[in-house]
Amino acid sequence: MAQTIPSVSLLLLAWTLGGVLAIAGGLTYAEMGAMFPRSGGVYVFLREAYGPLPAFLYGWAALLVVISGGIAAVAVGFAEYLSYFFPALSPSVVVMSADAGFTRISISAGQLVAAALIVVIGAINYVGVRRSNFVIVVVTAAKVGALAALPIIAILYTRVTPVLTPVVPPDLARPVAAFGVAMIAVLWTYEAWYFVTYAAGEIKDPQRNVPRALVGGLLLLTTIYVVVNIAYFLALPLEEMQGVTRVAERAATVLVGPAGATFIALTVVLSTFGNNMAGMLAGSRLLFGMASDGVFFPSCRRVHERYRTPHVAIVALTIWSAVLALSGSYEQLFTYVMFASILFSVAAGAALFKLRRDRPDQMRPYRTLGYPAVPIVFITGSAAFVLNTLIERPVESLSGLGLLALGLPVYWYWSQ
């Protein structure tokens, strides 16, 4: 992001705007999550509003790109920070390479670590929701505590006074497009805020707790992201951030030395582990919901007799996510994920208007605050980033559309 928009002011604006869009989305989804308190999340919203085909295409995209690709990208990020402790496991260390026709395929040690992590997370989810949730709660508490320490350290040991002007650097070509490209990374970090709706069928009192989790969690998340980025700017001049993958580690190193870098690296390892625990939990429930509707492999609706988990869906998602982790870099994966995800965010946001019109008498335990302005902000903001990504990252965007098109014959087959 610092390379794309070399402006402290624009970077902070990007993080704030990402939070505003996510909160608007949370308020929008909260109403539908309370209306349909069962497993499936966005898949259920789209099915109830538009019918089975759009819902299936979302589930198809989630399986092939959004959730599986997100799990793969975060696993590669896990490997990147784990390599601080074990340099031989870095994503930059190639362990095998071979020619495959018109291209060359290479796999790094970091990608192998990422695939192994996904298998471990799949196994934990396989044996029960309670165990999975316990791990998620522990690592979330640990990472929030560690992130809270970083700005405190930055204030105590400030090294740099951030330069806030000019807001738009005079040598920045096409600033609006550049800002949109940087926002892909911002929205990626907020991605998965809606996962709580996927497991609504397993949440106590979902009509009350789903809206609270969405809105309260996003307010806290936005605050954390903005404050931590301010800490980076107090530690490093912008030039020292450009092109750096492990910027949190770099900031902690200059503030308090190697011990700080170790602390932050361990925090990110925990963070990425917990993030993928939640991704596997949510994604497997989506596949379970699709299979229950008869538009996916029937075996994915099976529930394990002992562990009471959708074990076949967990295994399927684990395998495909591991394959994706072996296929690309962190940035390639998250760009790929975000185009498809935001595309469906537009449709899911619009679903609220359709449901209000078509089902005015249906019980709504929660109503979107600020309706209709808040959903409109979410829809228009998401649509703008879909368009910008299509223009600025056409390869990844068109690849995502191609995978969606492949879902059409699959849907026809399963619906027969």
Q: How many CB atoms lie within 10 A of CB 102?
A: 5
pLDDT for position 132: 66
Give a yes or no: residue 170 inside a domain: yes
Give a yes or no: residue 322 inside a domain: yes
Give a yes or no: residue 404 inside a domain: yes
Amino acid at 266: L
Is omega for the bond preceding 372 within 30 degrees of 0, making it cis?
yes
CATH number at residue 302: 1.20.1740.10
Give a yes or no: residue 1 inside a domain: no
Q: How many domains does the chain have?
A: 1
Asked whether the whole model's pTM tops 0.85, one would answer: no
Listed in sequence order, the residues at least 6 apart from 197 whose beta carbon sits closer than 8 Å to its beta carbon are 29, 32, 33, 40, 41, 42, 44, 45, 210, 214
SS3 label, residue 3: coil
Residuewise pLDDT in 10s, the chain (416 residues): 999 999 999 999 999 999 999 989 988 988 888 888 776 778 889 999 999 889 888 888 887 888 888 899 899 989 998 999 999 998 888 888 877 666 677 889 999 999 999 999 999 888 876 766 777 788 778 777 877 888 888 888 888 888 888 889 888 888 998 998 898 889 888 877 887 776 666 677 777 787 888 888 889 889 989 999 999 999 999 999 998 888 888 898 888 888 888 888 888 888 888 888 888 887 888 788 788 877 777 888 898 888 888 899 999 999 999 998 988 766 777 776 777 788 888 999 999 999 999 999 988 888 888 999 999 999 999 999 888 888 888 887 787 788 788 888 988 887 77
Give a yes or no: residue 81 inside a domain: yes
User: φ and ψ at 318, to 5 degrees?
Assistant: -60, -45
Relative orientation angle of helices 42-50 and 8-35, to the nearest 10 degrees:
60
Q: How many CB atoms lie within 10 A of CB 361?
A: 5
Q: Residue 103: how many CA atoms within 13 Å on its side-chain side?
A: 3
Give a yes or no: residue 64 inside a domain: yes
Per the structure block, which two tokens stand in for 27? Answer: 């308020």
Give a yes or no: residue 3 inside a domain: no
Give a yes or no: residue 117 inside a domain: yes
The domain of 59 spans 8-414
User: φ and ψ at 292, to 5 degrees?
Assistant: -65, -30
Residues 244, 230: Cα–Cα separation, whole Å: 16
Amino acid at 14: A
Amino acid at 133: N
Q: How far is CA 414 from CA 62, 375, 408, in A?
A: 17, 33, 10
pLDDT for position 101: 64
Assess contact for 264 and 85: CB atoms under 8 A. Answer: no
